[in-house]
């Protein structure tokens, strides 16, 4: 059975990133490995092995997130569908606080990509200008003029006399 290409790439990157035992902390190479694993690696066992390696090199936070990602990959299908529905609902919301809360929940469970999209959406909601408040009723002071009595109009009756000449 052939080994999938992302697993080979990640394996080579892991060897290159962790070959120096003196290096503690996040190096640029390790960051590439970490981000690629979050994005590409689907195998929970591979994610856990990588998490152990990160843990050995003092990268506890990244190791925890990789372990959470492994757990996500093993969730039942219905749970995954429920999470997708929650994500869609968050992206349709107009409440930036609620969207940000959902983004934090997704991040704490290892859903880095979904949480990043939700955080970005919440940021966009906050950047939108506030709708202008309804204009207050403006009270104008109008001088009331006394009502004038209607003038009686003289009706002129126009009568026209028509004369007809009969031409024979």
**pLDDT 10s digits, 15-38:** 555 555 556 778 889 999 998 998
54 and 91 part of one domain? no
Last residue of a domain, one of 56, 73, 90: 73
Q: How far is the CA of 52 from the CAs of 72, 82, 150, in angstroms?
A: 17, 30, 99
pTM score, whole prediction: 0.55
Per-residue tokens: 104 = 């934090």
In the three-class reduction of DSSP (H, G, I as helix; E, B as strand; rest coil), residue 131 is classed as coil
Per-residue tokens: 159 = 């009568």
Angle, CA 49 vertex, CA 45 and CA 18 arms, to 5°: 150
32 and 65 part of one domain? yes
Q: Is residue 153 part of a domain?
A: no
**pLDDT 10s digits, 74-100:** 999 999 999 999 999 999 999 999 999
Last residue of a domain, one of 46, 73, 100: 73
87 and 47 part of one domain? no
Residue range(s) defining the domain that contains residue 113: 77-127
Could you identify the residue written with the tokens 């690629």?
A: 36
Q: How confident is the model at residue 8 (pLDDT cuts 50, 70, 90)?
A: low
Instruction: Say which DSSP state 145 is in.
Output: P
d(C-alpha 7, C-alpha 18), whole Å? 16
């Amino acid at each position: 059975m052939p080994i999938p290409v992302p697993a080979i790439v990640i394996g080579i990157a892991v060897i290159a990133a962790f070959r120096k035992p003196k290096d503690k902390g996040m190096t640029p190479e390790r960051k590439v490995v970490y981000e690629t694993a979050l994005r590409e690696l689907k195998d929970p066992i591979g994610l856990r092995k990588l998490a152990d390696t990160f843990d050995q090199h003092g990268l506890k936070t990244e190791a925890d997130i990789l372990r959470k990602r492994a757990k996500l990959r093993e969730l039942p299908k219905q749970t995954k569908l429920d999470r997708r529905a929650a994500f869609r609902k968050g992206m349709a919301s107009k409440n930036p606080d609620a969207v940000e809360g959902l983004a934090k929940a997704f991040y704490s469970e290892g859903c880095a990509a979904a949480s990043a999209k939700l955080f970005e959406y919440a940021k966009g909601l906050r950047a939108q200008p506030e709708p202008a408040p309804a204009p207050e009723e403006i009270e104008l002071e109008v001088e009331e003029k006394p009502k004038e009595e209607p003038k009686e109009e003289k009706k002129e009756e126009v009568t026209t006399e028509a004369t007809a000449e009969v031409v024979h």
